[in-house]
Structures are given as structure tokens and as C-alpha cells.
Structure 1
Amino acid sequence: MNTKNIFAESLERLLKKNNLDDIQVSEIVSATSLSRKTFYRHFRDKYDLTSWYFSQFYEDSFGRITDNLNWEEALLRYLEIFEDKYHILKNAYESRDTNGLRNFDINVTRITYEKYLFSRSVDITSEIMQFAIDIASRGGTDMVIEWLHSGMKMDKKKLVELLKRTLPIDILKHIN
């Protein structure tokens, strides 16, 4: 197992019981056989580690729309991971720090939409398209976080359907 994964597993164990803002780097490190210096060789801080951890499964789920994975299938795969990692992600998204997971999620979703649309020859630089991408990234991320925090009561297939129906038309017409 590589060093980054060792720190990620330690973070995951801590997030099962604690809010991200309440976890100290020293706690993450002490649960491993590695040093604090090694931690900082790989990550700037606990938020950087959390973003790296999140990106590992994001890229294998919703991030795959750029590889021609169906939008609904990719989002459903993403939500299945949320179900599997419920307590961990709930506590990670509780962070109110500007470096927290919510802002990282919005940014990576924005990049994914831009890459997806660009690959379909859409002018992603226009003001209207930038606004549409921003709405889709922020709105979709916040609704998924709300679904998570509400205990995931809504069926995930229904959530996927609602998120797709409410995408800006300028994006929706390019979704397969």
C-alpha cells in the first residue's frame, strides 16, 4: 500500500466518528507508522488529504462522464459510493473551512462538466455556458450534500432523475 493510501485510511477511520474540522494532522499521523514529515511531503494539510481521498472515487464514478459513461450511470455510481461511505462523507462535508470538501467537490464537478462539454465541441467560454456550468456544479453538489445530510431518504435513482431534469438546458441538450 502506498503512503497516500495509508494516510487516507487513517483519515477515513477518524471521519467515521469526527467532523473533519475537529481532526488534527497529528491524529492522522499517529494512527500510522509514518511521520508527520512524510505527511507534509505528500499533502499540504488535512483538507488536501481529504480532497485527494475524495478524488480517488470521484474519478471512478461521476468523473467518468468524460470517458463516455452515461451521465445517469456515472451519477448513480457516485451516489452508491456515498451510501457506502455515508458516515465518512457526512463528517467530511460538515467542514465549514474554505478548503473543505464542498468547495473541492464543486470545483472538480465544474472541471468535469467543462471537459465533457468541450469534448462535444461546445463553446464553454461563453458567458451563458459558464453560468450554466456554475449552476450545474454548485446546485448538483449542494443537492447531493443535502441528500447525504438528510440521511439519504430519497431513492438515489429518483435523485438522479431530479438532478438531470433540473440541469440548465444549455447543458442538458449535450448529455447522453
Structure 2
Amino acid sequence: MTGSLITKKKIAKVFKKLVGEIGFEKVTIAKIMKESKMRRQTFYDHFQDKYELADWIFQQEAIEKIEDNLAYEGWQTIVENLFVYFEENQLFYRKILQFDGQNSFQEYYTQHLKSLIRQVLIVKAGTEKEREHQEQLFLEDFYATAFVSMTTKWLIGGCPVSSEQFAKQMRIAFLMGFDEKE
């Protein structure tokens, strides 16, 4: 692991801790770096702002569970792994999800889910004729938005059911959308 990656991970760890303690909006670069015992400039050597840091954390930790596994894992396994990750990091994501401004986590999460949903739609279409492009885009947007909304509700609610149970419920809901044929 390079020094740069180690530094980024140290900054990210402190950021996650602070977000969990005081919330996303109250975390400042000065607080992150004071807690990290690093110079403020070190932060800017790696990230433009806390939004980019939050995106980097999500990319490094959560998105790799989606995109890095698309080629060889079934979508059901990817969904379950993603919810296990969210459950393990629920305090951080609960605080992040409460921030609803520009560059919100919900927007970022929705965009990355579309690739997973695209794969599911292709698998579910099977030998059926290929979906029209506009219908495909609509379904990707619809399911990604629903997925993010339900994940947000689950996390903010304190993960009232286990990640395994929640993943099962999400898979069932997703599959029910394909049961009825036109």
C-alpha cells in the first residue's frame, strides 16, 4: 500500500469517526486534521473538500462491493454484501444520509446502483427480446431510486432488521417487479 493511500485511509477513518459523533455538516477540515494529527495542507494534497472525501470513502468501501464484483458475483450476493457493509457502518451512513444538499450521498449512491440494476435487468430479460433503450433507462432509474430510498429509511431507522433480512426483502421486492408480463 502506498504512503498516499495510507494517508487517505487515516484521514477517512477520522472523518468517519467525526461524522458519527457530530454529523456531516459540523465536520470541518480543521477538525479532521487536528484529530488526525496531520497538517491541514495534507488534506488538500489528497482531497478538495469533505464532499470529495465522502465520495472517496463510498467509492473505496461500498462501490467496490458493487462494481468490482459485477463480472463474477450474482447480483443477490452483491446486494447482501452491500447491506452487510452498510450495517457495519450504519452510524456514519445514517449521519451522511441526513445531509440532503448538493453532492448528497443519495445522488452518488443512485448513480452507482444503476450499473448493478442494469446487470440484473439483462439477466432477468434472459432470452426475451432486448428491452428498448428508453424502457431500460427508466427501469434503471426507478429501481435505483427505490433502492436508495429504502436503504436510507432502513439506515436512518437504525437497521431494525438484519442486513441479511433486509437484502432478502429487497431481492423479493425487485423480483416481484418482473413476475407480471405485459
Change (3 A) 1:127 1:38: same
In structure 2, the gaps of 5 or more residues are none
Indicate yes or no: 2:141 matched with 1:134: yes
Give the equivalent residue in structure 2 for 1:10: 14
Residue 11 of structure 2 contacts residue 36 of structure 2 at CA under 8 Å; is this kept in 1?
A: yes
Instruction: Tell me which amino acid in the other structure corresponds to 1:5.
Output: K
Structure label with greater radius of gyration: 2
Q: Is 1:149 matched with 2:156?
A: yes
1:22 is aligned to 2:29: no
- CA shift, 1:169, in A, is 7.4
Give 1:12's aligned amino acid. K
CA 1:124/1:40 → structure 2, altered by over 3 Å: closer, same or farther?
A: farther
Residue identity matched to 2:20: K
**C-alpha distance in 2, partners of 1:77/1:146?**
18
SS in 2 for 1:161: helix
Compared with structure 1, are the counterparts of its residues 115 and 48 closer, same or farther at alpha carbon in structure 2 (3 Å cutoff)? Answer: farther
Q: Could you tell which deviates more after superposition, 4-13 or 38-47?
A: 38-47
Whether contact under 8 Å (1:110, 1:137) holds in the other structure is yes
Distance 1:124 1:41, change over 3 A: farther
SS of 1:134's equivalent in the other structure is helix
Q: CA deviation at 1:131?
A: 0.4
CA RMSD of aligned residues (A): 2.8
Partners of 2:123 and 2:38 lie apart in 1 by 42
Count of residue pairs the alignment pairs up: 172
The answer to which structure has the higher helix fraction is: 2
Question: Structure 1 residues 7-16 or 37-46, which shifts more?
Answer: 37-46
Q: In the superposition, relative to structure 1, how do residues 165 and 64 fare at CA in structure 2: closer, same or farther (>3 Å)?
A: farther
CA 1:39–1:114 in 2, change beyond 3 Å: closer, same or farther?
Answer: farther
Tell me the CA shift for residue 154 of structure 1. Answer: 2.6
Contact kept in structure 1, 2:83 and 2:164, CA below 8 Å? no
Matching residue within 73, 76, 79 for 1:72: 76
In structure 1, what residue type is equivalent to 2:60?
Answer: Q
Amino acid at match of 1:81: Y
Cα offset, 1:35, TM superposition: 2.6
> Secondary structure, in 3 states, of the residue corresponding to 1:61?
helix
SS at match of 2:137: helix
Letter in 1 for 2:44: Y
Superposition TM-score, scaled by structure 2 size:
0.80
Provide the rounded CA distance (Å) in 1 between the counterparts of 2:162 and 2:26. 31
2:46 matched residue in structure 1 = 42
- For structure 1, the 5+ residue unaligned runs are none
Alignment check: 8 A CA contact 1:106 1:138 kept? yes
